[in-house]
């Protein structure tokens, strides 16, 4: 369980306002909000990696130690800079395991490669030899390589097609159950959040607007939540009429 108490983050202006939030362990938590609502900053504060020039006050308390890499897997929104350009994916993976005194867990990594539709031969490539979507999937692989107890995933499905998005979210749900992990999944779409999330946290303009289970959010009377639900229903209708895949 992570408790966030009276958290304020500011640069020139206040960017996160009095955030109070409990992130229960072993749950799939979805952080939803429009662009600029503060989702990434909240993740960065959880990682203790706020950008230079920002300050924060308030508390982030975890009931168990969380070390980045080992206990926390972070899938950043900006993944292209996350790789050293002069090492292949295999060398980077080896180094990731070596840094924690272990060797590559081949059966597990093979399973993740299959799930993410990553060709194992791409492990021999340098970051510059991979597409944006392939790099994003490698960023996911690296984040889960050490089987962390907490996964912070920032808009991880933006470069993925709907089928792969579903497969990845299904896999993350299985991962959560198998390893008792907590997943914090940032998205601006309500559809996947209602389908996969156990706890939903809605953000607007640096504030938490509402939290609750999918059922509570669906029945909410809050104007912001209503507008998101409306947008979600419209997009469902549009997808139904064009016969593309959607979340029920």
Ligand X SMILES: Nc1ncnc2c1ncn2[C@@H]1O[C@H](COP(=O)(O)OP(=O)(O)OP(=O)(O)O)[C@@H](O)[C@H]1O
Residues found near ligand X in the complex (CB under 6 A): 11, 15, 33, 35-41, 51, 77, 188
Alpha helices (H) in the chain, listed in sequence order: 39-46, 89-98, 106-115, 132-144, 162-179, 190-196, 214-218, 223-241
Q: How far is the CB of 82 from ligand X (least distance, A)?
A: 16
Q: How far is the CB of 7 from ligand X (least distance, A)?
A: 13
Q: Which is nearer to ligand X, 118 or 160 (CB)?
A: 160
Q: Which is nearer to ligand X, 53 or 101 (CB)?
A: 53
Contact 196, 169 (CB under 8 A): yes
Q: How far is the CB of 189 from ligand X (least distance, A)?
A: 11
Q: Which is nearer to ligand X, 51 or 180 (CB)?
A: 51
Residues present in the chain in total:
248
Q: How far is the CB of 19 from ligand X (least distance, A)?
A: 12
Q: Which is nearer to ligand X, 175 or 224 (CB)?
A: 224
Q: What are phi and psi of 20, to 5 degrees?
A: -125, 120
Q: How far is the CB of 42 from ligand X (least distance, A)?
A: 7
Q: Which is nearer to ligand X, 143 or 155 (CB)?
A: 155
Per the structure block, which two tokens stand in for 126?
A: 């340098």
Q: How many beta carbons lie within 10 A of that of residue 46, not counting itself? A: 21
Closest by Cα among 27, 235, 234 to 151: 27
Per the structure block, which two tokens stand in for 16?
A: 């996160």
Contact 207, 187 (CB under 8 A): no
Q: How far is the CB of 110 from ligand X (least distance, A)?
A: 32
Per the structure block, which two tokens stand in for 174?
A: 């299985």
Distance separating alpha carbons of residues 231 and 214, to the nearest angstrom: 16
Q: Which is nearer to ligand X, 167 or 188 (CB)?
A: 188
Per the structure block, which two tokens stand in for 32?
A: 């939803």
Per the structure block, which two tokens stand in for 55?
A: 């300050």
């Amino acid at each position: 369980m992570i408790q966030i108490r009276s958290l304020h983050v500011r640069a020139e202006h206040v960017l996160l306002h009095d955030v109070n939030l409990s992130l229960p362990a072993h749950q799939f938590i979805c952080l939803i909000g429009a662009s600029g609502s503060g989702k990434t900053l909240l993740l960065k504060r959880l990682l203790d990696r706020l950008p230079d020039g920002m300050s924060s006050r308030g508390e982030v308390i975890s009931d168990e130690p969380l070390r980045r890499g080992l206990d926390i897997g972070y899938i950043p929104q900006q993944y292209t800079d996350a790789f050293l350009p002069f090492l292949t994916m295999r060398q980077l993976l080896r180094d990731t395991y070596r840094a924690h005194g272990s060797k590559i867990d081949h059966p597990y990594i093979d399973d993740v490669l299959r799930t993410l539709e990553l060709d194992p031969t791409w492990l021999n490539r340098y970051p510059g030899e991979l597409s944006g979507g392939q790099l994003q999937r490698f960023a996911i692989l690296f984040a889960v390589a050490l089987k962390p107890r907490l996964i912070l995933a920032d808009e991880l499905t933006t470069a993925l097609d709907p089928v792969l998005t579903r497969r990845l979210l299904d896999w993350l749900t299985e991962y959560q159950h198998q390893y008792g992990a907590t997943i914090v999944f940032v998205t601006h779409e309500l559809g996947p959040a209602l389908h996969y999330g156990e706890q939903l946290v809605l953000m607007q303009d640096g504030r938490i607007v509402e939290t609750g289970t999918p059922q509570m959010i669906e029945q909410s009377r809050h104007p912001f939540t209503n507008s998101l639900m409306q947008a979600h229903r419209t997009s469902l209708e549009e997808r139904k009429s064009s016969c593309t895949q959607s979340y029920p």
